[in-house]
Structures are given as C-alpha cells and as structure tokens.
Amino acid sequence: ADMRDRMERLKLELPDEIDRLMLRKFSSDSMPVMVFSLYGAKNIEELAHDARTRIQQRLARVDGVADVEVFSR
C-alpha cells in the first residue's frame, strides 16, 4: 500500500504521455529462461493475437513451465 501511494504521487511528476505505472515483485527465481520474438508479414496486432491465442496457451501446458507472458510494442 505504501508503494502504491508513492507511485501515485510520482505520477504527478511524470510527463502526461505516461499512461500507467506497473509495480511488480521481482525475484531472481522469476527470471525468464527463454525469450523469443516473432516477426513476419503480419502486422504487430495480428502477431500478438497469434502469440496470445496459440503459442502462449501451448507453452503454458508444457510440464515445468510456470508462466508464459506475451509483450507487444
């Protein structure tokens, strides 16, 4: 709660273009063991959709996989 309060105060000092701040607890145990990129003839929205609806679900079902995240620019 204290950190959220500090972040709200910080938002007042940031440029208007900043939409939101994210707070995430970090542990070295949560470091990714694999990072990969997709590219192709599709636009970024289509690639991100494919990654979320097809690739993410399949990777998440692999035994031993704790989490699968998809980021797009």
Extract the tokens encoding 14: 């940031």
Extract the tokens encoding 34: 């694999």
Is the pLDDT assigned to residue 58 strictly greater than 90?
yes
* Amino acid (one-letter) located at 68: V
Residues 6+ apart with CB under 8 A from 68: 56, 59, 60
> What pLDDT is recorded for position 25?
78
Q: Give mean pLDDT, residues 38-43.
A: 88
pLDDT band at 33 (very low <50, low <70, confident <90, very high): confident
Residues 6+ apart with CB under 8 A from 56: 68, 69, 70
pLDDT band at 7 (very low <50, low <70, confident <90, very high): confident
Q: Give mean pLDDT, residues 47-64.
A: 92
Is the pLDDT assigned to residue 3 strictly greater than 90?
no
